[in-house]
Structure 1
Amino acid sequence: MRISSILFLLCFAFSLFQAKAQNHQQRSESLDVQHYRFEITINDDNDRIAGKTTILIRFLKAGSEIQLDLDAFDFSSGKGMNVEKVFANSAELKFIQTKKQLLINTGKEINAGETLELTIEYSGVPADGLIIDQNRYGDRTFFGDNWPNRAHFWLPVVDHPSDKATLEFVVKAPGHYKVVSSGKLVEEKKLGNRQKLTHWQENVPLSTKVMVFGAADFVVGNDTVWNQIPVNSWVFKENREKGFHNYRYGTKALEYFSASIGPYSYEKLAHVQSKTRYGGMENAGCIFYNENSAISDKSQEDLFAHEVAHQWFGNSATEENWHHVWLSEGFATYLTHVYNQHFYGEEMFRNGLKKDRARVIGYFHRHPAPIIDTTVTEYIRLLNANSYQKASWFLHMLRHKLGDDVFFAGLRNYYREYQNKTALTSDFRKVMEETSGENLESFFDQWLRQAGHPVIDWSWQQTSDKTIEINIKQTQKQAFFSFPLEVKLDYKNGGSATFRINVSDSTTQQVLQVSGNIRDIELDPEVKLLFEAVK
């Protein structure tokens, strides 16, 4: 009996190590997580957590093996998760922990279309993902910080944006903590020994990158309800007055994007002061802002608009692969500009775009790469000026190519099609082509998959009182771009005229008809093109 058990485990280990070598695409074609129930116990004595995760999995193909992402205990650091037991229907299942994965054998083949609910009991000190730290006032706090794929440091999951599931967080904590998470509050009750249980449930499917909880000595305020959606602010108790003031933008972006894009997906919206490593982290219905946001004298409105925009693009309509993160960050960046254009006018809108353009140019000179850069394997590196500012500029140029009515109709159609789903760049392009009736393949390819931007060397001369000649040369080392370039002509006697020149070759010469002597010429006067001028 002992020999046969060892042989079984050896065969199982071999097959599962083969499974480990498979890529996520193969896993996603075999399994689909439907629901997670995370039961987490935290304490004030040490950083060790106890976890019990129940997972409902639907098999897309017949099989008996399940591959989850979970960081294993590491003796040298003393951190990582140690799985103690895995069971389904009260029967224990065989499993193996590798460095980054939990490999489970169901003991029998599960047919395609069938589901299996299994439970994993584990414990350990998270090496990342769950930030256990003191805030600026010395108070202990716990904050999930999963982006991009850091959930597996403390949760057994399919840690990939393509796999969405509904979820629950059931958190047992010392009674002084307030606990916030995605979804609606199901239960909050006192337990014995000065402990408290808090149960949140999210009925909208999420990617692991935005499923978290936070626990701290919060005060909660700015309570309001918009369109039956509860909205409030959670700040550290020391920041009650300043924090509630800084977080006063609770519903403004929510109302605006609901009207301009489509219905908000989640049960509530909580704005939370936190220890996130980012300026803000768009966790679904439960946005975590950096600790200083609640005490800064600088307006936080742009930060709020950006993170709220993510509730539509990034959280609800989610990039299916990290290399397409521009569908999240580029959208949120551009929609923040659009928000400012709506509320604060054209000058603020254009100044923001100019600032972003300078940042894109500077970044390219340091890191020449396209927006969709499949060479990146360390996904945190995708948080760069390409994914944010250049992708925002791509959307801005697409808007001017299609016109406002078609562009915003396309955004609404894209959101309607992929709300609470995942999408790739090709999916977005298809929607925009269907909405506009135009073939956008070359436009998408040159701006998203080609590195760089037009670098323009130009000159002009007035050949008569009725004509001028403009010479435009693309000098970048990369491939040439095709684009419309607007030029504004200022007359010496006052007045001006704007012309559009279509550029597609290395050199373009254009003769323009004018009505007097020209004093000066300005390229791109209305800030519509991403380019770098040599002159």
Structure 2
Amino acid sequence: MKWITLITLLFATFSQAQNTSSQLDVVDFQKAKAQIQLDQYSNEVSGRVSFELDVLKNTSSVFIDAKNLVNYKVTIEGEEVKTTYDGEKLVVESRFRESETKKIEILFTSFPSKAMYHIDEDNNRIWDQVWTQGQGKYTSNWLPSIDNMNDKMVWDFQITAPVSKRVVANGKLIEVQPAADKMIWSYKMEQPMSSYLVALVAGDYEVKRDTSASGVPLEFYYYHKEEDKVAPTYQYSKEIFDFLEQEIGVPYPWQNYKQIPVKDFLYSGMENTGTTIYNDQFFTDQLGANDRSYVNVNAHELAHQWFGNLVTETDSKHHWLHEGFASYYALLAEREIYGDFYFQKQLFDYAEALHEQSANGKSTALLDPKANSLTFYQHGAWALHALKDEVGASILRASVVEYLESNRFKNVTTEDFLDVVERVAMVDLSNFKTFWLTSTTFPTAEALRILRKDPQMEKYLQLSARRISSFEESYNSYKETLQQPVEVEMVKEMVAQLSIHEDPRKYDLMKKALALNNVEINQLFVLSTQELNDQNRELVAGLINEPSYITRESALFLLWNDAKDKRELLDRTRASWEKINPSLDMSWIVLALNSSGYSNEELKPLLIRLQSYTNASFSTEERTAAFDYLINLNAMSQQNYKDLMEASLHHVWRFYENARDILKAQYKKDNGKFFIDQSIDSFDRSSQEKLMKILGLLE
């Protein structure tokens, strides 16, 4: 009987160590120091990580999340201890006494399948860039850590990397030391954070430095030899930082703020503590910045440094406290840059998307942990805007300050936030919670009521109602839209509506709209033009050198379809462009390949250049476009098929899903099957098995 009781107690203790929420009551991880070695010839991660933890209750074991370990050794106070590992958690068995402080050290080697990504741009089996993504992927996939975001600790990092690479991590860079053909980069933090916010980047970077108005060091990273992209990409960064720190009312809580572009990132950006990693498709020259602005992503990820990093949700039910707040404060930053009407129009666009989601029966409550991004981000932003409307801007601001200050470096729930607002505003927010947080439909009518308080927004709503009116009924409204002072968003709405009308008077309105010389208006005009005629031909031709790659590309297609001498148009246009990006280059090449007047000797290098765009050095968007062009031209080479197979194994799901669909379709064709069968042996055994499963050759 005693034996059974003892076993039961031991099993209960072991089970307790397996349960994350229970472990929070037993031990509290305080500090972590990670010493990491990056081998440029391998995706292996090796090193050691030590944890300092306070024991809150007696226990015989604790666990650390650790996936993909191929080798490990655990010591406590220098002595090796017994462990159990199931591929997910590393259970450390020892005597942990209440009120003790223990130091656990893990010597490990891991081969991460996700959360750390090695980018090999030329497929030479030597990575060019390494970056991490903890949120949603779990840092424990490459570094033993604690997945539960409720256990925060202060992290220090010592990262050994090839001498040619610059390393960026959370915290302040303390020193860089040479070590043979490598360099050791040491970063130190001062405040605790959840482990999903651990960040590491290694690559060929340079850095520009600045200082915020409050004295916070700002670091803007860029690729070697691409300094010309720094100003267009980061043009509003300091302004956004200073604005948000002032608007939020709480000093920036971390030692510095770094922004690093990376290749083939999973998302637009990620707000790692003091260290935002963002998709390098936003790192671009001025023409590219006009097409894809970094401003919203920039402001959104910075806002997370307060909403998500300083104060963190307890679980995903309260995820809007991260994404809704970051989305709303990003809009406020954009209002500072682009004006109030832009801000109101964005809220209107959010409301339209949320209304459509509700109408399609796909909406959920904002407090539903399984809500989608549209709900967490846009509905969350709207909830905060509606709360401001209810209690007033000054009350909300005071509430946010108290909410952040009283919960610094802690985890919170929605109730924690609402309790503060109710106390500061001296109101009952039960109806607000029901209406905006727990209802499964978006309150469209209430959103419109709030929007209509702005006179300019009322005018816009009246104009947007003209979408179902005839041109005759709308004509006077269109003329009023073009009267000074002009609102760009109003003109864009008018241009969109004009595209569906046939009345020739619309071209005079279009001319006046284009005379405003606004990049967004001009782009919308070209994108909404189906074909050229005597009234719009000159208007489109006048935009062929517009400071926008998208506008140039769209104008070129329209002019090419209309041109009698297509080669003359292409050669003249190409000569007029000082800058060109891969997307525009591919479009020009495809048009040249489909034009008469070029010799085979002239076309061959163009086709070779088009085929080169499928390789891993280009973005996923550019590679997708190249595959589409080449398949439509029936011009896929064996190397293109190898690139397609590699793309099918990529880590970006939208990219690899599309690549797999193409691969399976091509395998059904004799030519495609031949090249794919010829290429599959060039992949390692694991990749071969994955490819064969994709092709249906293995179960």
Bin the TM-score by the shorter chain.
Answer: 0.7 to 0.9
Once the two structures are superposed, residues 111-141 of structure 1 have per-residue CA deviations (whole angstroms, 9 ceiling, x without a partner) of 1x32111100110211111111235999611
Distance in 1, Cα, partners of 2:450 & 2:304: 31
Higher strand share: 1
**What SS class does the counterpart of residue 40 from structure 2 fall into?**
coil
Distance in 2, Cα, partners of 1:51 & 1:12: 35
Shift in alpha-carbon separation, 1:304–1:455, aligned structure 2, 3 A: closer
| Equivalent runs, 1:166-181 vs 2, <5 Å | 166-181=154-169
Shift in alpha-carbon separation, 1:272–1:13, aligned structure 2, 3 A: farther
Aligned to 2:15: 18
Preserved CA contact (<8 Å) 2:35 2:158: yes
Aligned to 2:115: 129
Preserved CA contact (<8 Å) 2:212 2:242: no
Aligned to 1:372: 367
The structure having more radius of gyration, on CA atoms, is 2
Q: Which of 149, 153, 163 is 1:165 aligned to? A: 153
Q: CA deviation at 1:219?
A: 1.2
Preserved CA contact (<8 Å) 2:320 2:380: yes
Distance in 2, Cα, partners of 1:482 & 1:441: 18
Once the two structures are superposed, residues 74-94 of structure 1 have per-residue CA deviations (whole angstroms, 9 ceiling, x without a partner) of xxxxxx113421001111111
Q: Which of 101, 104, 112 is 1:115 aligned to? A: 101
Q: Which of 64, 89, 114 is 1:101 aligned to? A: 89
| Equivalent runs, 1:209-220 vs 2, <5 Å | 209-220=196-207
Shift in alpha-carbon separation, 1:48–1:485, aligned structure 2, 3 A: closer
| Equivalent runs, 1:188-227 vs 2, <5 Å | 188-192=176-180, 194-224=181-211, 226-227=213-214
Preserved CA contact (<8 Å) 1:231 1:270: yes
**What SS class does the counterpart of residue 278 from structure 1 fall into?**
coil
**What SS class does the counterpart of residue 186 from structure 1 fall into?**
strand
Once the two structures are superposed, residues 118-171 of structure 1 have per-residue CA deviations (whole angstroms, 9 ceiling, x without a partner) of 100110211111111235999611111100351110111111221111101110
Distance in 2, Cα, partners of 1:12 & 1:172: 44
Aligned to 2:243: 256
Q: Which of 327, 333, 348 is 2:327 aligned to? A: 333
Distance in 2, Cα, partners of 1:140 & 1:403: 51
**What SS class does the counterpart of residue 122 from structure 1 fall into?**
strand
Preserved CA contact (<8 Å) 1:142 1:215: yes
Which segment is superposed worse, 323-332 or 130-139?
A: 130-139
**What SS class does the counterpart of residue 205 from structure 1 fall into?**
coil
Q: TM-score of the superposition, structure 2-length normalised?
A: 0.60
Q: TM-score of the superposition, structure 1-length normalised?
A: 0.77
The residue type equivalent to 2:309 in the other structure is N
Q: CA deviation at 1:257?
A: 1.6
Aligned to 2:73: 85
Shift in alpha-carbon separation, 1:341–1:187, aligned structure 2, 3 A: same
Shift in alpha-carbon separation, 1:367–1:59, aligned structure 2, 3 A: farther
**What SS class does the counterpart of residue 206 from structure 1 fall into?**
coil
Aligned to 1:518: none
Aligned to 2:403: 414
Q: CA deviation at 1:410?
A: 1.1
Aligned to 1:402: 391
Preserved CA contact (<8 Å) 2:219 2:258: yes
Aligned to 2:295: 301
**What SS class does the counterpart of residue 251 from structure 1 fall into?**
helix
Q: CA deviation at 1:362?
A: 3.1
Distance in 2, Cα, partners of 1:383 & 1:304: 22
**What SS class does the counterpart of residue 168 from structure 1 fall into?**
strand
Aligned to 2:234: 247
Shift in alpha-carbon separation, 1:30–1:450, aligned structure 2, 3 A: farther
Preserved CA contact (<8 Å) 1:217 1:237: yes
| 1:316 corresponds to 2:331 | no
**Identical-residue share of aligned pairs (%):** 24
Aligned to 1:265: 253
Q: CA deviation at 1:14?
A: 4.9
Preserved CA contact (<8 Å) 2:55 2:96: no
Q: Which of 347, 357, 376 is 1:353 aligned to? A: 347
| Equivalent runs, 1:376-395 vs 2, <5 Å | 376=370, 384-395=373-384
Distance in 1, Cα, partners of 2:18 & 2:270: 31
Q: Which of 429, 433, 449 is 1:444 aligned to? A: 433
Q: Which runs of 5+ in 2 are unaligned?
A: 1-6, 460-699
Preserved CA contact (<8 Å) 1:19 1:67: no
Q: CA deviation at 1:64?
A: 2.3
Aligned to 2:277: 288
Aligned to 1:148: 136
Distance in 2, Cα, partners of 1:340 & 1:485: 19
- Structure number with greater CO (CA < 8 Å, separation at least 6) is 1
Q: Which of 30, 33, 37 is 2:29 aligned to? A: 33
Preserved CA contact (<8 Å) 1:222 1:248: no
What RMSD in Å do the two structures reach over aligned CA positions? 2.8
Once the two structures are superposed, residues 343-375 of structure 1 have per-residue CA deviations (whole angstroms, 9 ceiling, x without a partner) of 33221011110111122223342633111114x
The residue type equivalent to 1:399 in the other structure is K
Preserved CA contact (<8 Å) 2:351 2:444: no
The residue type equivalent to 2:273 in the other structure is A
Aligned to 2:56: 60
Preserved CA contact (<8 Å) 2:116 2:132: yes
Once the two structures are superposed, residues 300-331 of structure 1 have per-residue CA deviations (whole angstroms, 9 ceiling, x without a partner) of 11111111111111111111212211101100
Higher helix share: 2
Distance in 2, Cα, partners of 1:119 & 1:415: 33
**What SS class does the counterpart of residue 54 from structure 1 fall into?**
strand
Preserved CA contact (<8 Å) 2:363 2:442: no
Aligned to 1:50: 46
Distance in 1, Cα, partners of 2:133 & 2:409: 21
Distance in 1, Cα, partners of 2:44 & 2:18: 30
Preserved CA contact (<8 Å) 1:271 1:288: yes
Aligned residues: 442
Q: CA deviation at 1:51?
A: 2.4
**What SS class does the counterpart of residue 32 from structure 2 fall into?**
strand
**What SS class does the counterpart of residue 272 from structure 2 fall into?**
coil
Distance in 1, Cα, partners of 2:272 & 2:444: 38
